Structure 1
Amino acid sequence: MNRKTHLFIRRSHRYLGLFLGLQFMLWTMGGLYFSWNDMDEIHGDHNWKAPQNLKADLIVVSPTQVIAQLPAADSIKSIRLIEVFGKPHYQVQYFMAAAEKVTVKTQLAIASTGSLRAALSRQEAVQLAMNAFSEPTQVSKVEYLTEKFVNGHHEYRGSPLPAWAVTMKHPSQTTVYVAAELGEVMKFRNNKWRIFDFLWMLHTMDYQGRDNIGNVLLRIFSIAGMVTILSGFALFYVSSGFRRKKKSLA
C-alpha cells in the first residue's frame, strides 16, 4: 500500500474520531446511567401505591344505559370498569363524527346508577394523586394541561389530555399526572426520570420529540461511526508489523 493511501486512512480515522468522539461519549454516558439505575425507581413505581380492587359483589347497571346518554356517539371504542374514590365507575371511550372528522371522546359514569359525571375537578385530581402516592406528603403545585401546554419535550407527552399535573413536596420532586376525563392516574415523573429523559434525547439524537430512533441525524452518525471503526481496522492493518514482516518475506 502506498504512502498516500496510508495517510488518507490515518487522517480519515483521526478526523472522524474527533467529529464523532463527543457523541460517542454522550452515548456511553447515557448507557451507563440506563444500566446503573433501577428502572422501577426511574418510573416512580416505588412511590406508586397499588389501587384498590373493586369487590366482586358490587351492583352495577348495564353499560347500555350509559351509552344511550352519550351525545352523537358514532361507535364505541372501549368500556372499562374502574375504581374512583372507592366507587365503581364506567369509563367509556367512543368515536364521534362531526364535519367529516372523527374524534375520540371519553365519558365517566357512576356504575351503580348509570349517571354521567363530569371530568375530575382540581380538588378531585389532587385527592386522587395523593391517594396514589405511597408516602404522606403535601402538594407544592397544581397545573391543568391541555394540548397547547404540552409540546414535544413535555414529560407528559403522548398521554391523554386534558390532565392535572400535581407536584408533590418530596425530595424526588415527583409530579403525578391525572387524566381528567379518564379519571385515572397515568404517570409519575420524578427527578431520576427527568435525567433519564434528557440522556435519552442525547442517545436518540431526536431533539424535538426525543423518542424517534429512526431520525436522519442518528442514521448519519451511526453510519459515520461504522466508517470510523472500519477505518480503525484498516489503519491497524496498514500500520501493523505483521504486514511489514509478511511483505519483506515476499
Structure 2
Amino acid sequence: MTFFILSMKRRVHRFTRKTHRYLGLFIGIQFLFWTIGGLYFSWNDMDDVHGETLLDKTEHTFSFSYNEPVRKLLQFLEDTEAKPIKNIEAIVVNKDSLLRVTRSNDILFLNLNKNKYRVRKALTKEESIAFVKSRLYNAMPIKSTKFLTEKEIANKHEYRGNPLPVFAITLEHETNTTVYVHPNTAKITKVRNDNWRKFDFLWMLHVMDFETRDHITNWVLRVFSVLGLLTILSGFYLFFISSPTLRKWREKLKS
C-alpha cells in the first residue's frame, strides 16, 4: 500500500513538472505580450495616444437670437419635409457661423454669415480640410485626404465602429496623425496617430481579439486565462513539494 502511494506521488509529481514545463513554454509567449502591453499602457501619456496634443477638439460656439428670417426658415424646414427639429446648436466652422439643426433622421446646416441664410447638408472636402486646420494648435501642412465609406472600413481599420462617411485628413507630422471629420455633423470624430496604432496593436494582443479588437469575452482569451491559471497553480505545487524549507517543516510535523 505504501509502495502504491509513493508510486502515485511520483507519477503526479512527474506529470505536474512536465505539464508546468510545456504550459510555461506555450503560455509564456502570451505572458510576454501581456507584460509588454501592460508596461506600454501604464507608461504612456493617454493624451498623446488619443491625439489631443496637436489639436483642439472642443467646438467653437457663438450666441445667436431667433430673428424672424431664421425662425421662418426653421419652420419651413420642419413643415415641408415633416421632420421635427430635435436640437439646434450654434457652431463656428472655419469662418462660417452655422446652426447645426438636428432633425428626426438627419442634420442640416444653416449658414448665418452676412445675413444670407443658406441651407447645406454636409461639409465639402475643402471645407473639412480648412476645418481641421482651424483646430490645430500649430499650423502644419496636409499630407493626404481620403473620403471613407463602409466599403473602405473593415473590422481592423483604425476608424472601425465610428460614424460614416468621413474625411480622413492626414497631417504632415512625425506622428503621422490622421484627423477624421464627419462632414454630415461638422465634428472631429476621431484622431489617430502612430502612438495610438502601437497601443491598438498591443491591445489586440492583450485581449486576444484579432478582428474587432474590442471583444474581451472571446474564447481565445478565456482558454489562455485558464491555462495561465493552471501554469501558476502547478508552479505553486512544484514549489511546495521541492522547497527544502517546506520539506523540513513537513518532516517536523510528522515527527
- C-alpha displacement of 1:118: 2.4
Change (3 A) 1:199 1:72: farther
TM-score for the superposition, normalised by structure 1: 0.86
Amino acid at match of 1:11: K
Is there any run of 5+ residues in structure 2 with no aligned partner, and where?
A: 1-5
- Aligned to 1:84, which of 52, 77, 93? 93
Question: Over residues 58-109 of structure 1, what are the superposed CA-to-partner deviations in whole Å (9 max), with x where a residue is unaligned?
Answer: 2244595275167464x76655443323413224152xxxxxxxxxx43222
The aligned residue for residue 26 of structure 1 is: 33
1:106 counterpart residue number: 106
Select which of 21, 38, 53 maps to 1:14: 21
Shift of 1:51: 4.3
CA-to-partner distance for each residue in 1:138-193, whole Å, 9 max, x for gaps?
Answer: 11111000011011111111111000001111111111100011111111111111
Q: Distance in 1 between matches of 2:156 and 2:86?
A: 29
Matches within 5 A, 1:119-130: 119-130=122-133
Residue 199 of structure 1 aligns to a residue whose secondary structure is helix
Q: Secondary structure at the match of 1:47?
A: coil
Percent identity between the two aligned chains: 41
State the alpha-carbon separation in 2 of the partners of residues 50 and 219 from structure 1: 37
Match of 1:174 among 173, 177, 187: 177
CA distance in structure 1 between the partners assigned to 2:87 and 2:55 by the alignment: 25
CA contact (8 A) 2:147 2:168 kept: yes
Q: Which residue of 2 aligns with 1:59?
A: 65
What RMSD over aligned residues (CA atoms) do the two structures have, in Å?
2.4
Bigger share in helix: 2
Secondary structure of the corresponding residue to residue 225 of structure 2: helix
- Rate the CA distance shift 1:165–1:13 in 2: closer, same or farther, 3 A: same
Cα deviation for residue 232 of structure 1 reads 0.8
Unaligned runs of 5+ in 1: 95-104
What's 1:195 paired with? Answer: 198
Instruction: State the match for 2:168 in structure 1.
Output: 165
Q: How many residues align structurally?
A: 238
Over alpha carbons, which structure has the higher Rg? 2
Q: Distance in 1 between matches of 2:131 and 2:176?
A: 17
Deviations 1:212-235 (A, max 9, x none): 111111111111111111111111
Q: Give the aligned partner of residue 137 of structure 2.
A: 134
- Which residue number in structure 2 is paired with residue 101 of structure 1? none
8 A contact 1:65–1:114 mirrored in 2: no
Displaced runs of 4+ in structure 1, greater than 6 A? none
Partner of residue 54 from structure 2, selected from 47, 51, 61: 47
**CA distance 1:52–1:17, shift in 2 (3 Å):** closer
